[in-house]
Structures are given as structure tokens and as C-alpha cells.
Amino acid sequence: MTEVVAALLHENGRFFICQRPLHKARGGLWEFPGGKVEPGETKEEALKRECREELDIGIAVDKVYLEVCHVYPDLTVHLTLFLARITEGEPKQLEHMGFSWITAQEIPAYEFCPADEQILEKIRREGF
């Protein structure tokens, strides 16, 4: 089981999504920014590190929004999604093919990683 953390970065009724690069697993699909927790790190530390590495932003991490598990052919993921806000910087496209600030109503226009399905349902149902 691989521990993955991701951020539900929100601002003015929109949230931030990123498109995975083609050379990576699940390339071209949309995701919440984040990545794998490294040994010795807390989940919160991992999330701050990933947001700095991938987007060059500083974030404030709030509470857990939802945890999900998903089995891919190559990887079993335990994904913890945190509510968070950008506190420093503007996202830069360092490791992604694209990104977008979207509303809950716009979710169907994007093809997300399969593990994100339950999360997206909750966002559509309850908001964030």
C-alpha cells in the first residue's frame, strides 16, 4: 500500500486541479496536486514538500477532507486529501501538462484518476 497525499486547494468557490504528464502513470488524467509520502515524513510535511516541488507554492494545510483506497494494476494507493490554501506564490507548471481552477459544476468536463471518483462525488454533493 502506497501512502499518497493530495491537496484540495480552494479559493473563491473554485478548487485547483492538475493534469499529469504523459510519461507518468495515469498520464494525461487530472489529479489533486500531491504525491507519495517519503519515509520519516508526516503526511502534512509530504504535502507541503510536494506543493513546493511540483508547483513552487507555499500552502497552509487544514483538515482531512476524505481518505480513499484504490487498487491500480501497478499500485495500491491509500490517498489522503487535505483541505488547504495557497499562502505564498502562484502555481508554476513545473511538472504538470496543465492546471485549472474549477467549480464543482465543471467536474464532468475533466477526466480524473480513478482513485479520485469518490472524492469528486463528495465535492459535487457537499462542496468543500
Ligand X SMILES: Nc1nc2c([nH]c(=O)n2[C@H]2C[C@H](O)[C@@H](COP(=O)(O)OP(=O)(O)OP(=O)(O)O)O2)c(=O)[nH]1
List the interface residues with ligand X, window 82-111 (CB under 6 A).
Answer: none
| Closest CB to ligand X: residue number | 35
Site string for ligand X, 5-34 (x = CB under 6 A): -x-----------------xxx----xx-x
Binder among 3, 14, 26, 35 for Mg ion (CB under 5 A) = 35
Query: HEC profile for the chain?
Result: CEEEEEEEEEECCEEEEEECCCCCCCCCCEECCEEECCCCCCHHHHHHHHHHHHHCCEEEEEEEEEEEEEECCCCEEEEEEEEEEEEECCCCCCCCCEEEEECHHHHHHCCECHHHHHHHHHHHHHCC
Q: Is 116 in the site for ligand X (CB under 6 A)?
A: yes
Using CB under 6 A as the criterion, which residues of the chain lie in contact with ligand X when the complex forms? 4, 6, 24-26, 31-32, 34-36, 50, 70, 75, 77, 79, 113, 115-116
Residues that bind Mg ion (CB under 5 A): 35
